[in-house]
Amino acid sequence: MAMVHQREPGKTAETDNLLPGKMFEAMTGAMEAFWSNQHRILTLYGDFASHWVERRQQAAQTGLDAMREMLASNGQPARLPEIANAWLRGSFERVSADMQKYRECCSAIAAALQVAPAQGGKPARH
């Protein structure tokens, strides 16, 4: 006589696959990928923010230097536009660098988000 495997009430073949150990094994790759992505994204954004602050500090210093140079040029008002234009040119260069670095940061973050958790942190295939 063949033995019939009896399941506990409420258990099915599908629920047998969801035992705590198996669930944890299935979730491990996804959890590793999630926290790895968080670390990658925060590192990318932290680098961007750090350089942004450096450019703001440089902007404050060059603004202060330009103001001092303007004040020191009393008697030579023709130099004021030259000094102001040099400071403004540097400001535009910093804002342009901000935009470029922000685009690069967003692209890198988007690439990091393309990692498929089910693949254990490997890039997703589309």
End-to-end Cα separation, the chain, in angstroms = 51
Query: Do the domain assignments include residue 33?
Result: yes
Domain range holding 95? 29-123
46 occurs within a structural domain: yes
pLDDT, position 74: 83
CA dist list (Å): 15 to 19, 29, 67: 7, 21, 73
Q: What was the pLDDT predicted at 123?
A: 52
Identify the pLDDT of residue 126. Answer: 42
In a domain, 5, yes or no: no
> Is 88 part of any domain?
yes
Q: What is the pLDDT of residue 48?
A: 95
Would residue 9 count as lying in a domain?
no
Q: Report if residue 104 sits inside a domain.
A: yes
What's phi and psi for 53, nearest 5 deg?
Answer: -60, -40
77 occurs within a structural domain: yes
What is the number of structural domains in the chain?
Answer: 1
Cβ atoms < 10 Å from Cβ of 33? 18
Which residues of the chain fall below pLDDT 70? 1-19, 115-126
The pTM is what? 0.64
